[in-house]
Structure 1
Amino acid sequence: MAKTRPSPSAPPPVQAEQQRLQEDARREKHWKRWGPYLSERAWGTVREDYSSYGTAWEYFPHDHARSRAYRWNEDGLAGISDRHQFVCFAIALWNGRDPILKERLFGLTGNEGNHGEDVKEYYYYLDSTPTHSYMKYLYKYPQGEFPYNRLVEENRRRGRRDLEFELIDTGVFDEDRYFDVVVEYAKASPEDLLIRIQVCNRGPDLAELTLLPTLWFRNTWSWGLDVRRPRIKAVEAAQDLSAVEFIHDYYGRRRLLFGGHPTLLFTENETNTRRLYGDAHGARYVKDSINDYIVRGDKEAVNPEQIGSKVAAQYVLSLEPGATETVSLRLTNDGEAARCGGGAFNDVFTQRLWEANEFYDALAPADLSSDARLVQRQAFAGLLWSKQFYHYDISRWLKGDPAGPEPPRERLKGRNADWTHLYNADVVSMPDKWEYPWYAAWDLAFHCIPLAVVDPTFAKEQLILMLREWYMHPNGQIPAYEWAFGDVNPPVHAWAAWRVYKIEKKRKGAGDRVFLERVFHKLLLNFTWWVNRKDAEGKNIFQGGFLGLDNIGVFDRSAPLPTGGHIEQSDATSWMGMYCLNMLSIALELARGNRAYEDVASKFFEHFVYICRAMNNIGGEQIELWDREDGFFYDVLHLPDGKTCHMKVRSMVGLIPLFAVETLDSDLVDSLPRFKHRMQWFIENKPDFSAHVETQSHDGGVRRFLSLVDRHRLRSVLRYMLDEQEFLSPYGIRALSRYHKDHPYVLSVMGREHRVDYEPAESGTGLFGGNSNWRGPIWFPVNYLLIESLQKFHYFLGDGYTVEYPTGSGRAIPLNQVAAELSRRLTHLFLLDRQGRRPVFGGAKKFHADPLWRDAIPFHEYFHGDNGAGIGASHQTGWTGLVAKLIQQSGE
């Protein structure tokens, strides 16, 4: 990004953004009070679903969203809110042809899409600082009628084996007949927000656009719990301005100033019962009144008294080809701040952008290319824009509201009925604010790794939040995601906490031990839950259900097996081995300052060894998860008649054992005599288990190596993983081996065939909704863990331990170089190649060739296993934002 310095008369302070972060962390100034906390989809969510049987998409469809007041969260386009989402701001658009205002992003429901739910818009998070002192958002709005019906009908017609029908495929962007709408925010102070909206006509002809910057209150008064209704009213302002004012019980008096003196349109954020339910006596001024005023020309739809709980300013822009118009606004509690636009106003944007550049330049490695900087900057922007105010009180949701109808009785035994303690009303990092506008525990853990680079305070707050009493279940389970809080995600919270601690320690020179201790105590409860609930036979072999890997298995692993019996999961057991080692690392770090933690460190050391023994089961009676014939880890199916068999699917399930690896250096062990004594006793008195602790001399001391995969089995697993005909793709490690393209795994049960085929793109099965696929694509989070694990293996095994890379090439390299090569492959999903193409764009020619599209980067949920094209949720910067950390590491 171009670096624009402010005028010499107003030089910015050194690292101004870091200063703002410190002020906010100390609660001296609330720089994060306002931010991009508005969802991009509140319709079709579990929270808004009051149906009998949990049909969320159908109960609150997109067609209702403009007319029905939301109970829990608001949504909008390029929007912001305060951290409690009392006050919301976003933009609405109308091109003169659409049947409705463009107030929110459109997409297909789970049943409409041929691969599940799917947003059908082009929007990009271009920039954000951690305090949101500067933010930038781009939306591409067609000038022709938005093809709502065609997108639904064509995707519904297509089968699971067909490609999705995208907005670009409709031809609506042909001849560049669209508007680029850029929305920027800059904070003059924590409570003084400057807003600049630039609209550019990219088409060949004169085009008209109605722009409607909109301010409204979340509806808190219609449910019979709080009857106070805040009001917005028009007030006098300078000659070139329009202005509104409101007084809110929480925030006091504020004004929104509109440059250019536009017409103001007032209504209420209340449900249009006339339209939705045929209520002849319904209110006149309702949520979609501004839509009816603009689109239908109903001049009586808005309140002539210019007061309400929702207001929009009407700007009618007529733009020549290539022309840009700018609209300026200011949301402020400063009665003296009377200017919108002009030199001083624009100087704030100039300075905040300069400070943003300064902040990110200080983070980026010095030799990083400009293209890598652009990708990293937008990855961070996506992570920061994906914060959302998430509101969900399950007890209230189950019981219903005093002013609402009684909820159906079925829900008292249905979804999330066992989570009545859960009360969410926080700003949370989302996987994606359209396709996944709800937190997912293991996604969030991965978000926190790159977030720790730019804002370790927020990363720590997020990890702690998931463990607080109003989130974590009293039995110790961490909530999974709103569709089923009781489902089971991989236990990566301890890993994330440990990594965030180390990232901050490396950057600041000291780690936050209070944070680490707070997390550790709560994770003890969660670890106990896993041991008590998911080790079916008490043998240190675990079941975890689907564990976030959706359709990777032969069966739905969260449901009762059609065969009866149960599955011993290689991945569940491996995740628990990793969990043990993460908890061991944290306990040892805490023991440096408090010897009481030595005993619990011993517990996790020994528990890991027990898991290691059970998983490898050398000489035991139980069938091993390790298949000696193939030299690979598989799930084991236990049938009711006592028979067992390996389900020989070469998948990520068999690579996850690599995640459980750690080295204990003698300088640490020797400093903790009680831990060392107990460890030595265990090794000497448990000879059957001591084989799982490898030692070697190093710099006059002893290194101890803990891993589920010893050096011999490691070579066998890597032979598969690094084979380009198996797991190794040009862009990372596939979730399923390409071997299954010609050799599908088939299991016949009760006359029905269950199979796993190699599917490098979208899923061909409806298992878990069919909107994500683990049967061949590349997924960032597990690739990141594989890279980290290879680095840990290299730390102990050294340069002398080499493997063929790729398998069969005859080229042998040490494991740290393998890790670097995998990192390079992953980052090249987004970077320009020699032909000036970004693999993430797949076959979309316009995205590759047009400079107005090429440098706006989407961060998809997962990626085509052969060509790297982005698939699934198009804005899942959540865990794909890990690319920012990989780019960071490449230059460190």
Structure 2
Amino acid sequence: MKTRSPRAPVAGLMWMRPSEGDVRLRHTCEQSDRLARYGWLRHDGLHFGAQEIRDAGLRLQTEFVKRPGGRHGGDWSWPAGRHLSGGGRMAGTPPAFISLLFYVATDGQGTLQPLVVEKNRMSSLTGTTEELGDFTVTFQQPTSEIGTTPLYASYNYLQAKAEGLHRLSDVVKASLSPRFVYAPPGAPKRRYFGVDAYRGPPDGVEPRSQLLVHQVTVAVPCRLEVLFESGSVADRAGRLAGEVLAQELARHRGAFEERFERTFGLARKGFSAQEQDFAKAAFSNMLGGMGYFYGHSLVQAPHSDRPQPYLEGPLFTAVPSRSFFPRGFLWDEGFHQLLLSRWDPALTREVLAHWFDLMNAEGWIPREQILGEEARTKVPAEFVVQHSTAGNPPTFFLVLQQLLSQGATDVPYLRRLYPRLQSWYDWYNRTQAGPVPYAFRWRGQDQDTQLFLNPKTLTSGLDDYPRASHPSPDERHLDLRCWMALASDVMARVAAHLGEPAGDYQHMAEALADNQLLEQHHWAEALGTFADYGNHTQAVLLERERFQPPPPGQPLPTPRLLRVVRKPPKLQFVGGALGYVSLFPLLLQLLRPESPRLGALLADMRSEQQLWTPFGLRSLSRSSPFYLKHNTEHDPPYWRGPIWININYLAVRALHHYGRLEGPFREAAAALYRELRANLIGNVFRQYQESGYLWEQYHDGTGKGQGCYPFTGWSALVLLMMAEEY
């Protein structure tokens, strides 16, 4: 729990099961912990949330309720704790007792002090920060599950300093001692690890965070309540505790259920209670996983010798994955907001404003936002530096298109946003232009072709999707051209809405949507599909290096896998790459409903040898020489076969569109729509039931989730398919 401010105080929870040896402290979301399940089950984005965590026989439920009031936001309360027996995904020995560690920490400003400490129990603390003024946090004694009977517990507390919020886990681990004994009446005595003393950060390290930890070691099942009370609330009707808290939770839970059905209508559409619970969890995880970040990126500009700190600023954004990608990604966020804007358009407008406020003077927005020390600890060093020549798919235009269709944008907001939109749009036209008019080319491709089977194009968002084998200025990228057609159309609509000149945008939109020009630049007759164009050969493979025997006594170097080119490249359409990129004229609805190319793409989509599976559309045709191929020795296939939900959402959306337009392919599109939608919903739901998670991608042969988890970023778009909201 934290406020949306640069140096916010943070309240959180850690927990430990009893252990004789190593300490298994749970705190941040780590995929390596291999929890059976965790995530928000309900979250309204403002006043209420309910989360469940399953950890080897332990079921921990946390909830929060916020009650506005005073001058600093009001109060909140946080009940936590519950235990159920093992079985199924709960496999594991149920613990006899558990240690829950509730903490409050500052981040560079403000003060914290224990208020009441008795026999090693810190029952409350007081604090002051710029944003929150004076406040008190009270730790209620543990009770039975229903909150009526007090329970025996052992207590520990810690007062320490840390060099930052990213080191809180380290500080707590360093302070633990096994010397404490849990001895409830009539039960055997058991040793446990408790917070004891912390020597402080290493010499020369300036502590920035004050940390207070309240540790409760107690038998399960149990219930604990933590109360945050603002000092500026003068007319508090009653404390958010006990029965009052239970009533508030019930009221907000009921309001969430009503609003969810009113917004998405899943019960009306006949979905089962289990399917509705799954959809609510998918949505709530995206909404509850939103974060407020503050800091600066490291940026490499063409005119600089080395990376420089970017402007410092805040970002309020959803994230793809709490465990693996807990930061903002530009093209992901457009897909996230397609879902969240259905729930709260004002929230989406605020998120877009944050992203556009991180634009530089040239109109560039960093595609990956790694703001602050805490975010940086989760990113490999080679991905930290952002390059100011590199773009990302401008998916915010999808969001603006939807907001305009919803009537969810007012003129004052659009007028403030419009200059930034113009700069962003101009940046793409200026820096990502192709070799001929109305063509576009992604910059930022891998240049060391010797090490890759096919150079990656991370900037496209499709990473290792096969492009031209030898990057060159002559390249034309189909997907970027289609994104720019969408962007031009939305810019024309925004300009007209504001009474600004829209002619140039309208002209560009019409040119990029011209099917004849599109075919001239990207239809490969010999391949029977749309394709990229560039300096390309398919006669490439990876082979192990061969060395001459070294002199006696010297070791043989470790041979690498290097690319071997059997046939020189030439300028041509990129063969062997039928897949998601080929579909973009359909995905972004640029094809006329009578176009024969639409029929060809529909056939490729439904072909099991090409893209069709019972679980969704695979990213690359099975007939491609790159299908499921490693790009390097240690670089497994990513966009070379697996099923991705964001592109499948665009496909379902487009099929719904073409299935409602008069034309020779209307019935085929409508039939494909029904079948593809059912396959996607069924598989994502089934994998959630079996594994406890939504996944980054899905295996095209088995449908099983793979990649990182939980991935309740764009995989949560399955909810919009269920609701048929396009």
Q: 1:247-646 maps to which residues of 2 (within 5 A)?
A: 247-260=128-141, 263=155, 265-271=157-163, 288-292=173-177, 299-301=196-198, 309-319=210-220, 324-333=221-230, 334=233, 341-365=241-265, 366-369=268-271, 370-394=273-297, 413-415=305-307, 417=308, 420-468=309-357, 471-482=358-369, 483=383, 484-486=385-387, 487-503=390-406, 505=407, 511-544=409-442, 545=445, 546=457, 547-553=460-466, 566-588=474-496, 590=497, 594=499, 596-608=500-512, 612-617=515-520, 624-638=521-535, 643-646=570-573
Q: 1:777 to 1:709 in 2, by over 3 A?
A: farther
**Paired letter, 1:880:** S
The 3-state SS of whatever aligns with 2:334 is: helix
Matched with 1:281 is: none
Once residues 821 and 252 of structure 1 are traced to their aligned partners in structure 2, the CA distance between those partners, rounded to angstroms, is 56
Shift of 1:340: 6.8
Once residues 773 and 874 of structure 1 are traced to their aligned partners in structure 2, the CA distance between those partners, rounded to angstroms, is 15
Shift of 1:797: 3.1
- Of 56, 65, 76, which aligns to 1:193? 76
Q: 1:102 to 1:81 in 2, by over 3 A?
A: farther
Unaligned 5+ residue runs, structure 2?
Answer: 87-92, 143-153, 181-191, 201-208, 370-382, 446-456, 538-567
- Of 630, 653, 657, which aligns to 2:581? 653
Matched with 1:104 is: 27
Once residues 215 and 185 of structure 1 are traced to their aligned partners in structure 2, the CA distance between those partners, rounded to angstroms, is 16
- Of 700, 715, 731, which aligns to 2:599? 715
The 3-state SS of whatever aligns with 1:309 is: strand
Once residues 354 and 644 of structure 1 are traced to their aligned partners in structure 2, the CA distance between those partners, rounded to angstroms, is 62
Contact kept in structure 2, 1:732 and 1:826, CA below 8 Å: yes
Matched with 1:89 is: 11
Once residues 242 and 790 of structure 1 are traced to their aligned partners in structure 2, the CA distance between those partners, rounded to angstroms, is 59
TM-score, reference length from structure 1? 0.62
Once residues 354 and 465 of structure 2 are traced to their aligned partners in structure 1, the CA distance between those partners, rounded to angstroms, is 30
Q: 1:199 to 1:577 in 2, by over 3 A?
A: same
The 3-state SS of whatever aligns with 1:778 is: coil
**Paired letter, 2:461:** G
Q: 1:563 to 1:300 in 2, by over 3 A?
A: closer
Matched with 2:150 is: none
Q: 1:814 to 1:512 in 2, by over 3 A?
A: farther
Once residues 574 and 708 of structure 1 are traced to their aligned partners in structure 2, the CA distance between those partners, rounded to angstroms, is 14
Once residues 660 and 230 of structure 1 are traced to their aligned partners in structure 2, the CA distance between those partners, rounded to angstroms, is 52
Unaligned 5+ residue runs, structure 1?
Answer: 1-78, 109-117, 143-177, 221-227, 277-284, 399-410, 556-560, 618-623, 663-706, 745-755, 803-812, 832-837, 842-846, 849-853
Shift of 1:364: 3.4
Once residues 659 and 299 of structure 1 are traced to their aligned partners in structure 2, the CA distance between those partners, rounded to angstroms, is 58
Q: 1:82 to 1:585 in 2, by over 3 A?
A: closer
Matched with 2:608 is: 724
Matched with 1:166 is: none
Shift of 1:658: 1.6
Matched with 2:627 is: 757
TM-score, reference length from structure 2? 0.76
Shift of 1:194: 1.1
Contact kept in structure 2, 1:466 and 1:479, CA below 8 Å: no
Shift of 1:723: 1.1
Q: 1:413 to 1:819 in 2, by over 3 A?
A: farther
- Of 653, 674, 679, which aligns to 1:820? 674
Which piece of structure 1 moves more, 310-319 or 707-716? 707-716
Shift of 1:875: 2.1
**Paired letter, 1:444:** E
Shift of 1:886: 1.5
The 3-state SS of whatever aligns with 2:350 is: helix
- Of 26, 44, 67, which aligns to 1:130? 44
Once residues 313 and 107 of structure 1 are traced to their aligned partners in structure 2, the CA distance between those partners, rounded to angstroms, is 23
Give CA-to-partner distance per residue, 1:482-537, whole Å, 9 cap, x none.
Answer: 4353332112221221113323x3xxxx6534444444442222222222212242
Contact kept in structure 2, 1:658 and 1:708, CA below 8 Å: no
Once residues 211 and 481 of structure 1 are traced to their aligned partners in structure 2, the CA distance between those partners, rounded to angstroms, is 34
Q: 1:105 to 1:205 in 2, by over 3 A?
A: closer
Q: 1:626-705 maps to which residues of 2 (within 5 A)?
A: 626-638=523-535, 643-648=570-575, 649-661=577-589
Contact kept in structure 1, 2:238 and 2:244, CA below 8 Å: no
Give CA-to-partner distance per residue, 1:178-227, whole Å, 9 cap, x none.
Answer: 21111111123352111111230524666221111111112x2xxxxxxx
Contact kept in structure 2, 1:657 and 1:709, CA below 8 Å: no
Once residues 532 and 613 of structure 1 are traced to their aligned partners in structure 2, the CA distance between those partners, rounded to angstroms, is 24
**Paired letter, 1:512:** D
Contact kept in structure 2, 1:536 and 1:543, CA below 8 Å: yes
Which piece of structure 1 moves more, 93-102 or 880-889? 93-102
Matched with 1:674 is: none
Once residues 288 and 84 of structure 1 are traced to their aligned partners in structure 2, the CA distance between those partners, rounded to angstroms, is 26
The 3-state SS of whatever aligns with 2:79 is: strand
Which piece of structure 1 moves more, 636-645 or 123-132? 636-645
Alignment of 1:244 onto 2:114: no
Alignment of 1:182 onto 2:61: yes
Shift of 1:309: 2.0
Give CA-to-partner distance per residue, 1:662-720, whole Å, 9 cap, x none.
Answer: 6xxxxxxxxxxxxxxxxxxxxxxxxxxxxxxxxxxxxxxxxxxxx38961111112211
Once residues 662 and 33 of structure 2 are traced to their aligned partners in structure 1, the CA distance between those partners, rounded to angstroms, is 46
Contact kept in structure 1, 2:659 and 2:673, CA below 8 Å: no
Give CA-to-partner distance per residue, 1:743-785, whole Å, 9 cap, x none.
Answer: x2xxxxxxxxxxx1236xxxx4459x84771111111111122
Q: 1:271 to 1:642 in 2, by over 3 A?
A: closer
Q: 1:739-754 maps to which residues of 2 (within 5 A)?
A: 739-740=623-624, 744=625
**Paired letter, 2:312:** Y
Once residues 708 and 576 of structure 1 are traced to their aligned partners in structure 2, the CA distance between those partners, rounded to angstroms, is 17
Shift of 1:571: 2.0
Alignment of 1:209 onto 2:209: no
Q: 1:341 to 1:421 in 2, by over 3 A?
A: closer
Matched with 1:702 is: none
**Paired letter, 1:90:** G
| Fraction of identical pairs, as percent | 17
Shift of 1:575: 2.3
Contact kept in structure 2, 1:386 and 1:433, CA below 8 Å: yes
Contact kept in structure 2, 1:388 and 1:433, CA below 8 Å: no
The 3-state SS of whatever aligns with 1:267 is: strand
Shift of 1:362: 2.2
Shift of 1:244: 1.0
Q: 1:886 to 1:639 in 2, by over 3 A?
A: closer
The 3-state SS of whatever aligns with 1:231 is: strand
Once residues 338 and 228 of structure 2 are traced to their aligned partners in structure 1, the CA distance between those partners, rounded to angstroms, is 33
Once residues 738 and 872 of structure 1 are traced to their aligned partners in structure 2, the CA distance between those partners, rounded to angstroms, is 20
Contact kept in structure 2, 1:658 and 1:709, CA below 8 Å: no
Contact kept in structure 2, 1:580 and 1:604, CA below 8 Å: yes
Matched with 2:379 is: none
Contact kept in structure 1, 2:227 and 2:241, CA below 8 Å: no
Once residues 702 and 297 of structure 2 are traced to their aligned partners in structure 1, the CA distance between those partners, rounded to angstroms, is 43
Q: 1:887 to 1:355 in 2, by over 3 A?
A: same
Q: 1:587 to 1:823 in 2, by over 3 A?
A: farther
Shift of 1:377: 0.7
Shift of 1:290: 4.2
Shift of 1:358: 2.4
Q: 1:732-743 maps to which residues of 2 (within 5 A)?
A: 732-740=616-624
The 3-state SS of whatever aligns with 2:653 is: helix
Once residues 797 and 86 of structure 1 are traced to their aligned partners in structure 2, the CA distance between those partners, rounded to angstroms, is 55
Shift of 1:652: 1.0
Note the aligned Cα RMSD (angstroms): 3.6
